[in-house]
Structure 1
């Protein structure tokens, strides 16, 4: 069952789709379900390239998960202008979506999973570092150096025009210097240690946008925390958006298997009380 909804974030209306678990699916606990919130990447949408997030949400809900995917302000069907307020605005919007998710009666607040792709992965880390309600992170081809990675996508000239003229157009989106300033201000590598939950990383070896090396760097730094596990999966020949049936099937199956196994281990551990 899917519902198209609107989530208020300040003066913005964020378009979103809420997926309910398939009846009888595993994963419920005392009539409450874990929920996965999907954060899309740079000028993306809640649909995803080749319907990646639609397919992911429907797959997860068949296995007992609620899923909430949404459009950031100025993207997809949401109101506003993308990039206004920089990464801080994206973090705030994500937290408002978390507010909405935890107001749903059948959601288990102890099993809130934030899944971020590309720039959405960086936003997910920065959000989890601030918001203890996030219990688990799933990062697909996550950005690690926001300024450099986005400049590599848009081209350095776009940034220079924005600084010189006060704004610059990229594929119909208007970016002001404040957006680029925010990219330099926030460093996921520095903030990730503030998150104590478990993490699952997935990256493709043929990613032409965000280097697969980031996956290994992220795991190393997550391992250095005093709490929380971190596992990774590297998918051979998968590109940035995991295009193609084989890459997408591996992405979804590996993510789903990790989530289910991780949740089972936590429940078993909780049964052992001293």
Structure 2
């Protein structure tokens, strides 16, 4: 079952969709009727549907596997209110934390299994959120941005960035990106925040990604490996683009992700059995 709703954040409304676990699978995988929660963080000027409906496919796949899933639009994206380009990177983090608040208000959610799944800039937001918010227990990063300012400037072009700095704002694909939007990314390097997160991480990237360098997945893996706690697994999907658009690459991405999520659940159960 799916339900559309809105979340209040400051003076804005975030449009969202929640996917409830299918009961047969949920009952098999539930821990005393408490379900794991996955929150999907979309990328730069994206939305909760995703390119080629990637996030819809993901949420429906995961709900069939016994996960509760929330996908939402950041301010100014999709059906949410407000202006996206007037927000900063820190605002995206706080909006993500609002989605966590909402999810954990649901009685049947297991607070020990809260997962952020972030794509592109949403991956960077997921890392920054997890470094700040201890309620996040696991991360899934798809083609995650590692250097927000330089990566977004590369995508929009130098002329858009220079106009925003000079004039206070610039148009990009119908979005008004303010100087503050770019300024908020200055000095932000999510991979350097990796050490503050102690949970398990999956990093997936396409080898043919032309928007975010595939080298970032190796950088993230290295930084997560330097931690004393938490595991990090990495997968590179050959010839996949930034949005894993082909049906073959989407299928690989979803299988890798669901298999990994089930594996960390199994490790958790085995650890609990050992402790008992």
Using the size of structure 2 for normalisation, the TM-score is 0.98
2:96 corresponds to: 94
Q: Indicate whether 1:38 and 2:34 are aligned.
A: no
Superposition map of 1:58-77 within 5 A: 58-77=60-79
Query: Matched residues in 1 for 2:107 and 2:167: separation?
Result: 49
2:13 matches 1:13: yes
Within the candidate set 171, 174, 185, 1:172 is matched to 174
Give the SS at the match of 2:85.
coil
What is the aligned partner in structure 2 of residue 119 from structure 1?
121
Q: Deviations over 1:177-202 (max 9, x none)?
A: 11111111321022111100000000
Cα RMSD after superposing both structures: 0.8
Cα distance, 1:262 vs structure 2 = 1.1
Contact kept in structure 1, 2:192 and 2:223, CA below 8 Å: no
* Secondary structure in 1 matching 2:86: coil
Match of 2:209 in 1: 207
State the partner residue of 2:220.
Answer: 218
Aligned residues: 274
1:27/1:34 contact within 8 Å kept = no
Unaligned runs of 5+ in 1: none
Change in Cα spacing, 1:8 to 1:135, as seen in structure 2 (3 Å) is same
Is the 1:84–1:179 contact (alpha carbons within 8 Å) kept by the matching residues of 2? Answer: yes
1:131 to 127, 130, 133: 133
Conservation of the 8 A alpha-carbon contact between 1:114 and 1:137: yes
5+ residue gaps in structure 2? none
Q: Which residue of 2 aligns with 1:237?
A: 239
SS at match of 2:30: coil
Q: Is the 8 A contact 2:85 2:177 kept in 1?
A: yes
Give, in whole Å, the separation in 2 of the partners of 1:55 and 1:221: 30
* From 250, 253, 267, the counterpart of 1:251: 253
User: TM (normalized to structure 1)?
Assistant: 0.99
Inter-partner Cα distance in structure 2 for 1:253 and 1:41: 21
Match of 1:144 among 137, 146, 169: 146
- Give how far 1:166 is off: 1.1
Of residues 165, 182, 185 in structure 1, which corresponds to 2:184? 182
User: Where has structure 1 moved over 3 Å in runs of 4 or more?
Assistant: none
How far apart, in 2, do the equivalents of 1:68 and 1:40 lie? 11
- Cα deviation for residue 83 of structure 1 reads 2.8
In 1, Cα distance between equivalents of 2:235 and 2:193: 22
CA deviation vs aligned residue, 1:216-255 (integer Å, no higher than 9, x gap):
1110110001110000111010000001110000000010
Distance in 2 separating the partners of 1:83 and 1:174:
5
Q: Distance in 1 between matches of 2:106 and 2:3?
A: 13
- Give distance in 1, aligned partners of 2:264 and 2:162: 45
8 Å CA contact 2:206–2:236 kept in 1: the answer is yes
CA drift of 1:131 comes to: 0.2
CA distance, structure 2, for counterparts of residue 215 and residue 164 of structure 1? 34
